[in-house]
Structure 1
Amino acid sequence: MGKLKKFFGISFLLVCFFVSSGCSPVRKVKIESAKGYVSPRKGDLRKNWIESIDGGYIFYVEGKPFLAKGVIYNPTPIGEGYDYDFFTDKNKPWLIDGKLMKEMGINCVRIYSAGEDLEKTKEFIRDMYDKFGIYTIVSDWLGLWSYPGANYADKEFREKTKKRILNIVEVLKDEKGLLMWILGNENNYTFSGKIGFWTSPEIEKISEPYKKQVKKAEIYYSFVDELAGEIKKIDKVHPVALGNGEASFLDIASGICKNIDALAIIAYRGKKFGNLFNSVKNFYDLPIFLSEFGCDSYDAYKDTEDQDVQAEYLLSQWKDVYANTIFSGNKQGSCIGGAIFEWSDEWWKHDEGYSPNWKVHNKEGGWSQGAYYYDIRTRDNLNMNEEWFGLMSLIEEKENGINKRIPRKSFYLLKKLFSSFPATLPSEHCN
């Protein structure tokens, strides 16, 4: 994507409420999973696992297959910015948002990172699960936006990051509301220097630009695989996914990441995802979780909010996600669900370094994507408005200490769509 949407990043996880299969007992099939992943046992309802059946994938939670109907959650209030930590907010915004999510049919949230206070993060996960039946997916940036910056070729940085990640896993792994882990987000964009430049003497000896990128990919993905292997030593319950921007360099990751159970892919391709699922399956046959996708609600060309277009795009995107799952009857379905970007608008994103603007809902576009063609004719083609991606708009009026949420049209249409999805797998998978 190349956008600096979550500049320093404050949250990352995703939670899922699963769809009961009605199938008993669980079908015994070969488990196509990463090295070290413990195969589930009948009656062991504490495990989350992914099964490969006839070329497609089914995600199980507590013994039941589910389709992850997720949303990215980072409820930054008006006037706050990149350094806001919602886990420590005494107003607990998730108690308001969780009710609305449950009404909509959301069954999981993804957070970009755990909070610094892991006990507060644990409290959030418990509240979402106990009160609303919503699971949390915990992600981590792997230092992407840290100061002085990530260097995946530096041994000291790798060890420091590994120690921090394993501590997060140790503290959170026993939470019933935890769904899975995601390592990284769009870190593969650092290979070209698009964001987060890093290098090493070994890399600098390579003269050809693309070969430099390949070397960086090998270094980075080896680190992710090492992390995943270490996580599995202490948490044998939750799958570990590789976070990646689009499909770039996944062909290299496929030969390196043997401890990964799923791919968490970010994709902004317009109304549909094109050949994404089939092309990835050809060189890296793992289940795909669409970890970030969406559409903003501002028409940059007409300079006005357009909830109809946002709803049209999100409905089309979710229908495409569903069509690539086994739940739709697609036996080759490699998708296990997805997470919309995002739950609520964030007013700080256009001028992330200028705090006075965090109280202003900016209308300027921040990046360009031609697949969102309805407003691509705007000035400089900057048609993607970072502060307008929410399913919820915010107003300054407060309710229970938080900015009042106003559901957009997409909230109601997705609620209707989610309610139309079957609560069971197709009968051929209920053997």
Structure 2
Amino acid sequence: MINKIKIIVIIALCMVSCTTIVESQVVKLVDNQLFVNESPYFIKGICYHPVPKGSNQRSFYNLTNDLALMVEAGINTIRVYEPIDDVKVLDEINEAGIKVIIGFGYNQNGNFDILSGSFINYIEKYKNHKAILFWELGNEYNYHPEWFENDIKNWYTSLNNAADSIHKMDTNHPVATAHGELPENLALTICLNIDIWGINVYRWDNPESLFSEWKKVSKKPLYLSEAGADSYMTISKDRFEQGNNQDAQAAATKNILQAIFNSKESTLGVTLFSFTDGWWKAGENDVQNPGGWAPNSSGVPYDGIPNEEYWGIVDLGRNKKKAFDVVKQVYTKTN
């Protein structure tokens, strides 16, 4: 009887331990290529900030349907602009076979931000989660020196220090930043702890020139953290008519992705902007408005104007736009 009790206890302890074991994952850079557990990984991604109609706040209420659409389109990576502090959401993303680039803001009122240092608490909490691809600090902050006492050097110093703190805590994931256009020498000189440079680039419908320019200034890997086009033409131009125009978005998306995938040896990939439309950006959040503003955005195809609420490859009802089929065609046919 005692032996039976011992056996039962041992089995129970084993069951408990088995449920708490976290399978570690190593994401690393080798010769400027990304590897996940020794397998090469090319980012076929999408920027993902789902805000419902009538709201200004991100919500994962439609996550299951969104992931199904992403899988259909061949998307393997989503880039988020703020941390996902919900293990169930991360679990579901992982189960869909998709990985996440987790972005941290500078000042988020102490909510996992860089200014307070609380971002490190998030990394400690989730660094072993299999959904994580890498960490990313900031998004186009180089356009906003006013946030840093009108001295952008303050941001670069904070960025470099934050990356150093992450490296000391987590040796299994690289650290990136998302920079607006090609970084200047000041950024590259100060931010030596950045492993991957994400670049938000809008150069009409062909970002190809970025790759040769990058090779002249840095030997580190890069990926396109934002690229793409919206589905609204403020003016008629380049054979595309004014107004809602999915053809313009689809044509630009095709050209942009082809340029990137034709230069796979020069980049880690792309997170196309964006998965859903964002009705919260340019006016009342319960209607879709043309207009909006983004810094250094005159290169948005094909009207040179970023209509901020029309960037999705699906609309808020998750109806596929023509650009969705373009993404699907490119992503699913590329190994």
Q: Which amino acid aligns with 1:128?
A: I
Match for 1:48 among 22, 27, 42? 27
* Aligned residue runs from structure 1 range 34-73, under 5 A: 46-52=25-31, 57-73=32-48
Match for 2:288 among 348, 361, 367? 361
2:262 corresponds to: 323
Deviations 1:137-188 (A, max 9, x none): 1011212xx57xx9xxxxxxxx972521101111111101100001111111
Q: CA deviation at 1:324?
A: 2.0
Q: Which amino acid aligns with 2:69?
A: L
* Aligned residue runs from structure 1 range 379-394, under 5 A: 383-394=305-316
Match for 2:101 among 121, 125, 137? 137
How many percent of aligned residue pairs carry the same amino acid? Answer: 29
* Aligned residue runs from structure 1 range 201-240, under 5 A: 216-240=151-175
Q: Which runs of 5+ in 1 are unaligned?
A: 1-43, 151-158, 200-212, 327-332, 352-356, 377-382, 395-403, 424-431
Aligned in 2, Cα 1:372/1:222: closer, same or farther, shift over 3 Å?
closer
Aligned in 2, Cα 1:104/1:93: closer, same or farther, shift over 3 Å?
same
Q: CA deviation at 1:419?
A: 2.2
**Contact 2:281 2:292 survives alignment (8 Å):** no
1:308 corresponds to: 247
* Highest RCO, 1 vs 2 (Cα 8 Å, sep ≥ 6): 1
Aligned in 2, Cα 1:236/1:365: closer, same or farther, shift over 3 Å?
closer
Normalised by the length of structure 2, the TM-score is: 0.85
Match for 2:324 among 387, 399, 411? 411
2:222 corresponds to: 288
Q: Which runs of 5+ in 2 are unaligned?
A: 1-22, 236-240
CA distance in 2, matches of 1:305, 1:175: 40
**Contact 1:300 1:384 survives alignment (8 Å):** no
1:277 corresponds to: 211
**Contact 1:108 1:134 survives alignment (8 Å):** yes
CA distance in 2, matches of 1:407, 1:186: 28
Deviations 1:373-414 (A, max 9, x none): 6435xxxxxx321000000012xxxxxxxxx31000111122
Match for 1:267 among 201, 206, 220? 201
Normalised by the length of structure 1, the TM-score is: 0.67
Q: CA deviation at 1:45?
A: 7.5
**Contact 1:71 1:109 survives alignment (8 Å):** yes
Match for 2:282 among 313, 336, 350? 350
CA distance in 1, matches of 2:222, 2:187: 14
Aligned in 2, Cα 1:221/1:375: closer, same or farther, shift over 3 Å?
closer
* Aligned residue runs from structure 1 range 104-119, under 5 A: 104-115=73-84, 118=85
**Contact 2:83 2:102 survives alignment (8 Å):** yes
CA distance in 1, matches of 2:158, 2:297: 31
**Contact 2:276 2:314 survives alignment (8 Å):** yes
2:59 corresponds to: 86
**Contact 2:208 2:260 survives alignment (8 Å):** no
Aligned in 2, Cα 1:248/1:236: closer, same or farther, shift over 3 Å?
closer
Aligned in 2, Cα 1:269/1:106: closer, same or farther, shift over 3 Å?
same
CA distance in 2, matches of 1:167, 1:322: 36
**Contact 2:180 2:201 survives alignment (8 Å):** yes
Count of equivalent residues:
305
Q: Which amino acid aligns with 2:102?
A: V
CA distance in 2, matches of 1:228, 1:373: 34
Q: CA deviation at 1:260?
A: 1.4
Deviations 1:340-370 (A, max 9, x none): 111001111102xxxxx11111123546844
Aligned in 2, Cα 1:177/1:373: closer, same or farther, shift over 3 Å?
closer
CA distance in 2, matches of 1:253, 1:111: 23
**Contact 1:298 1:306 survives alignment (8 Å):** yes
Q: Which amino acid aligns with 2:315?
A: S
SS in 1 for 2:189: coil
Q: Which amino acid aligns with 1:94?
A: L
* Aligned residue runs from structure 1 range 166-177, under 5 A: 166-177=120-131
Aligned in 2, Cα 1:373/1:181: closer, same or farther, shift over 3 Å?
closer
Aligned in 2, Cα 1:113/1:271: closer, same or farther, shift over 3 Å?
same
Q: CA deviation at 1:415?
A: 0.8
2:68 corresponds to: 99
Q: Which amino acid aligns with 1:161?
A: L
